[in-house]
Structure 1
Amino acid sequence: MTDRKPYRHRFPLSVIGYALRLYHRFPLSQRDVQELLHERGIQVSHETLRQWNIKFAPLLTEELRHREPRRGSRWHLDEVCVRVGGVKHWLWGAIDERGDVLEVLLQEHRDTEAAKSFFARLLGEYAVPEVIHTDKLWSYGAALRELPVLHSVEHVQVVAAARCNNLVEQSHRQTRQQERGQLGFKRRRRTQEFLALHARVSNLHRQTRTTIPAALRRSNQTEALLLWREAIQQAA
């Protein structure tokens, strides 16, 4: 990585990229990251870390999204309750058949309009899928009926007793881990930006967590790190 300093920043990209990677790769709070940097002789304030996230998180999300491979044509959708500033919100999530996150969207409601908004967001980034897997929430079916572009898509509903078959359920674990690490989410916009980048980082490192040979896992880790460094270079 070229260790240049972004405009009007005191620290070089190597420090900024390392701090952001720690924050979004592991269930750490900003104060945890501040302490880890302090152990390495880097004195960064909590406010500086917050400003780095505000500035670079949306840019990094787009950079990583553009570097992702082509996604599958079988979507698994689900929503989970998340409290933001003490107010109940719904985190809508979609993954493909390989377990890679397609999109996440934080909304206040769980109705048909919310489902349509989520589908519109997905279709703005990906081609029309072949199959959509959802739970029994009626909002999904209503939204599919109101969107002509999805009329030909097969809709598979997973019964409540078999929710383990819905791959997206597993992706919520990392959201819960991050929520606990940060002692809860505070602001809706910042939470959306954080979770969007966290999803891209999870995709980047997903192949490093599977039961594959150690040599291949190390190779995947190196590739993920190089992609991260390229993204931070472009984002800055």
Structure 2
Amino acid sequence: MIGLFLYLTLSSPMALNLANKQFPPATILMAVRWYAAYKLSYRDIEELLAERGVQVDHATIHRWVLEYAPQLEAAFLNGKKRAVSGSWRMDETYIKVKGRWYYLYRAVDKYGDTIDFMLTEKRDEAAARSFFDKAIGQHGLPVPEKVVIDKSGSNAAALDSLNWQIWFAGIIGGFIEVLQVKYLNNIVEQSHWAVKWKMRTALGFKSIEGAEASIAGVELWQMLRKGQMINAGDMSAREQFYSLAA
């Protein structure tokens, strides 16, 4: 097993451009992981680091999350994420940003593995279609065989437009089966909890950039916890997280 000590004592520059920073890379990565993994605010992490002799302002920790959480997620998606099932469960939940409610589209497969997520201002057919296009295209995933949704007409319309595109393209056998069965969608509805408690810890996100970075970190941590990294071997979720920076 790759020891956690190895990662926490790294002092050389890493792929995430952690060179020439005021604080050691290990400190930065640990703070970002704490924020993504636990019910901690930036001020909580400031206090925890102070107990370890590291004096850093909570605003600096916020900047670390903004900069590095999306980069770590991108490193994971760059060939390190395990393939998902062709049976998807899709749903959206509410996220408060700058005092307004936004929509977080999310999808998991029938085993609960995270497929993708997207924060958007609107909840309509165009937003749902953008989410499906992102989920299918960004990660090189095939068109799903089946998608379970709630009673949302906009989600159904987005899948209908996708099926029409498949038909016009002449892709034989490529149609997506669409099911609107609530109990089958419980698995994705229940998986919203991690992002929701981070929103409550933050008392609502203060900016779109902050919300997207925080969600990227939380979703990344959950994917690692669920064992979605390829060739993780005996590495713990912590070790997998730190390995993304190497």
Q: What residue is the counterpart of 1:141 in the other structure?
A: 156
How far the C-alpha of 1:19 sits from its partner, in A, is 0.6
1:128: how far off? 0.9
**Which residue of 226, 233, 244 corresponds with 1:206?**
226
User: What is the deviation of 1:60?
Assistant: 0.5
What are the within-5 Å matches in structure 2 for residues 62-73 of structure 1?
62-66=74-78, 67-73=80-86
Contact 1:103 1:196 in 2 (8 A): no
Kindly provide the amino acid, as one letter, of the partner of residue 65 in structure 2.
Answer: N
Q: Give the counterpart letter for 1:127 in structure 2.
A: P
1:71-220 alignment runs, 5 A limit: 71-124=84-137, 125=139, 126-147=141-162, 148-149=165-166, 152-159=175-182, 162=183, 165-206=185-226
% identity of equivalent residues: 33
- Whether 1:4 and 2:12 are equivalent positions in the alignment is yes
What corresponds to 1:214 in structure 2?
none
Displacement after TM superposition at 1:43 (Å): 0.9
TM-score (norm 2): 0.83
Shift of 1:73: 1.1
Long gaps (5+) in structure 1 = 208-218
Question: What is the SS of the residue equivalent to 2:40?
Answer: coil
Aligned partners of 1:73 and 1:129 also within 8 Å: yes
Asked whether the equivalents of residues 107 and 114 of structure 2 are also in contact (C-alpha less than 8 Å), the reply is yes
TM normalised by structure 1 equals 0.86
**Deviation (angstroms), 1:108:** 1.3
Question: Letter of the aligned partner of 2:12 in structure 1?
Answer: R
Q: CA deviation at 1:194?
A: 1.5
Deviation at 1:149, TM superposition (A): 3.1
Preserved CA contact (<8 Å) 1:13 1:232: no
Contact 2:108-2:188 at 8 Å conserved across structures: yes
Give the helix-richer structure, 1 or 2: 1
- Gap runs ≥5 in structure 2: 1-6, 168-173, 228-232
Q: CA deviation at 1:117?
A: 0.8
Instruction: Give, in angstroms, the shift of residue 59 of structure 1.
Output: 0.8
CA RMSD between the two structures: 1.8
Number of aligned positions between the proteins: 218
Conserved in 1, the CA contact under 8 Å of 2:92 and 2:105? yes
